[in-house]
């Protein structure tokens, strides 16, 4: 249940404020969970970013594929399929960082 709440918070933050703010969902997961806040934060943010990537591909796969190809060429000739994978990895790492920070905050409070 906590994971779903964290993913929903990350999704709403991403949708309303932008991708940078999804780290707050990771921090929330780190503060809220007893152990392994980094894991909960990474999974929650990763799931929400994965949903958004999947939505982009479902709405218009042709345009998304062209965008991935263009972004891949801008970033040094990466294949188009690597762009969503790297994007998802960045989201997971953002959630892990937030979860680690939230765990530290929780430990300070206790």
51-69 pLDDT, tens digit per residue, is: 999 999 999 999 999 999 9
Q: CA nearest 11: which of 105, 102, 95?
A: 95
Asked if the model's pLDDT at residue 71 lies above 90, the reply is: yes
Average pLDDT, the chain: 94
> What span, in angstroms and rounded, lies between the C-alpha atoms of 23 and 82?
23
Q: Model confidence at 1, in pLDDT bands (50, 70, 90)?
A: confident
Q: Model confidence at 34, in pLDDT bands (50, 70, 90)?
A: confident
Q: For the chain, first and last CA: distance in Å?
A: 23
Q: Is 33 helix (H, G, I), strand (E, B) or coil?
A: coil
Q: What is the pLDDT of residue 18?
A: 94
> For residue 33, what are its two tokens?
């969970």
Q: How far is CA 71 from CA 22, 50, 97, 101, in A?
A: 22, 18, 25, 31
> What span, in angstroms and rounded, lies between the C-alpha atoms of 57 and 84?
10
Q: What is the pLDDT of residue 87?
A: 94
Q: Report the percentage of the chain scoring pLDDT > 70.
A: 100
């Amino acid at each position: 249940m906590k994971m779903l709440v964290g993913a929903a918070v990350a999704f709403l933050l991403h949708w309303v404020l932008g991708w940078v703010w999804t780290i707050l969902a990771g921090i929330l997961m780190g503060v809220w969970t007893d152990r392994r806040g980094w894991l909960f934060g990474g999974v929650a943010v990763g799931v929400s970013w994965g949903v958004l990537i999947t939505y982009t591909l479902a709405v218009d796969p042709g345009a998304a594929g062209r965008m991935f190809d263009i972004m891949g060429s801008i970033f040094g000739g990466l294949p188009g399929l690597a762009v969503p994978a790297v994007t998802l990895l960045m989201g997971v790492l953002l959630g892990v960082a937030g979860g680690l920070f939230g765990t530290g905050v929780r430990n300070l409070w206790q």
